[in-house]
Chains A and B, each alone.
Chain A
Amino acid sequence: MKDSAVIIIPSHPRYLSVVRAVTVRMGELCGMADAELEDVKLAVDEACSNVIKYAYGGNTDKRIVVRFKITQKGFEVVIEDSGLKADIDSLKGRSLSDVRPGGLGIHLIRRAFDVVDFDDKKKRGNRLRLIRYMKEKNGD
């Protein structure tokens, strides 16, 4: 069996803690260090928060599917929704020097994952693919 897990949550912010908990557990199984776990946990939380805010416009009774997969190359998380198409420009975020509320989430996602992209093939809703490549460890 593949090293994978899938969770389906309602698009309500109270379920973000569930996403965080599963992300951390999967990251631990992937062998991540504590600092990596914190970065990845925050990034997946931010991505799901964006789905609630933007794709579903704050509607809390939709669903979000989060798939986790551990591969030889690294850790992959795919987040799917059936909401409004994401604006690709939203992946740029604001300049970090521009101090104002909002616009920080995408930087936190990009900090944790090497690949951050939307699947163009998905007709309705969004499929965000996040991949963090495993770093070579000395002595391995």
Chain B
Amino acid sequence: MEIEIVDYKGANVVVLSGDIDMYSSPILRKQLMLLIDKKVPLLLIDFKAVSYIDSSGIATFVEGLKGMMSYGGRLKLLGIPEGIMEIFNFSKLDRVFEIYGNIDDAFNN
């Protein structure tokens, strides 16, 4: 997995690629928590290049969401590939996360 953090109109975008599994999710968690500890108001997670996610990856985002909600921040997921979206649907987390097709929709809503 690779993690790149870029700026989009003043918001932090975490651009992910590759596999998010038990090996890589602790690295992702550390990066997310660094941003959440700073109480960033908006965090966008770009999933377009993510090829795989397991339950440890999902748990990382649930933890991140709860962390951001604690201070009124918003965590938005975007560009989730179909196979990965199916796991969010199965786990009913599509009802919990804010999920958008692209970065403009995620930023503007």
Contact = CB atoms under 8 A, between A and B. Distances in A.
A17 B92 CA distance: 26
A102 B92 contact: no
Given A16-B23, A42-B87, A101 B62 contact: yes
B12 interface: no
Contact of A49 (B22, B63, B87): B22
9 contacts: A16-B23, A38-B83, A42-B87, A45-B22, A99-B93, A101-B59, A102-B55, A105-B54, A108-B87
Interface of B: 19, 21-23, 52, 54-56, 58-60, 62-63, 66, 83, 87, 90-93, 96
A129 B23 CA distance: 24
Contacts of A10: none
B26 to A, nearest CB: 9
Contacts of A22: none
A100 B19 CA distance: 22
Q: How large is the interface on A (under 10, 10 to 19, 20 to 34, 35 or more residues)?
A: 20 to 34
B96 A99 contact: yes
A contacts with B: majority SS: helix
Interface of A: 12-14, 16-17, 20, 35, 38, 41-42, 45-46, 49, 52-53, 96-97, 99-102, 104-105, 107-108, 111
Contacts, number: 61
A13 B21 CA distance: 8
Nearest to A17: B19
Contacts of B59: 101-102, 104
Nearest to A20: B52
Given A17-B21, A49-B22, A107-B91, A99 B62 contact: yes
A38 B23 CA distance: 19
A85 B91 CA distance: 27
Nearest to B93: A99
A42 B92 contact: no
A53 B59 CA distance: 14
A34 to B, nearest CB: 8
The residue in B21, B60, B62, B63 that gathers the most chain A C-beta atoms within 10 A of its C-beta is: B21
